[in-house]
Amino acid sequence: MPVGPEQYRKDFGLEPVSDTVRGKALELALDIRKFEISLYWQRATYFWTLIAAAFAGYFAILAAERMHDAMFNAFVVASIGMVFSLAWFLANRGSKFWQENWENHVDMLEDEISGPLYKTVLRRTEAGGFIERFVDGPLPISVSRINQWVSLFTLGVWLVLACNVLPVFSRDAPLSGKHLLIGSLTAIICAAMVLLTSSKLGGTRKLSIIDRSATVSRNDA
């Protein structure tokens, strides 16, 4: 059921209330939104570093001339890369969820404080030439969505690289236990990240308070 600004303020106890309280709520919503955006790019940098290291390790292993069991080692690294890439993809979506949460709060709070500034878009009414329209002109493109597609593409690349170093399938060849172990562990971790990492929204949390006190005694000589 859609909630309008009036119902939103009523549910949050902001009506009737002073403009000072509403202004503080808007300020906090904007600050937390900025904080979520900064965390988004910090997480992106973290995953870029891990995935780049995994790519370097994968190709370094394949380029090594005398490494024992190089193909299996490369499969392990590719499995790690798949886990990192899926984690990056899910982290992108999670970050986007919480960023939009605070953007929605701003939409509900801003009208009577600063006007509909945040949710009003001003854009050019006339397009320029070919270069400006298709190369260097502005476009309403979501940077976070681009990252989500890039992370999904990276996951697909790791899947191909992992298959590239698997032993040649043969009905007569014995099953490789170590490949099966790494592949199963990777599948379990990926499934757990998809199925078991959702944030709990709503409900009631039971909290407990643990008190601690300290006393100081002085021994006089």
Say if residues 14 and 21 touch (Cβ distance below 8 Å).
yes
pLDDT tens per residue, range 201-221: 877 778 888 888 888 877 775
Any domain includes 211:
no
Whether pTM > 0.75 for this model: the answer is yes
Any domain includes 204:
no
Any domain includes 130:
no
Give the chain's count of helices (H) and strands (E): 7, 0
Any domain includes 86:
yes
Query: For 64-198, where are the alpha helices, taking DSSP H only?
Result: 70-109, 111-114, 130-131, 143-164, 177-196
Any domain includes 218:
no
Any domain includes 44:
yes
Amino acid occupying residue 52: A
Domain that holds residue 161: 5-120+142-167+177-196
Number of domains in the chain: 1
pLDDT tens per residue, range 68-107: 889 999 999 999 999 999 999 999 999 999 999 999 999 9
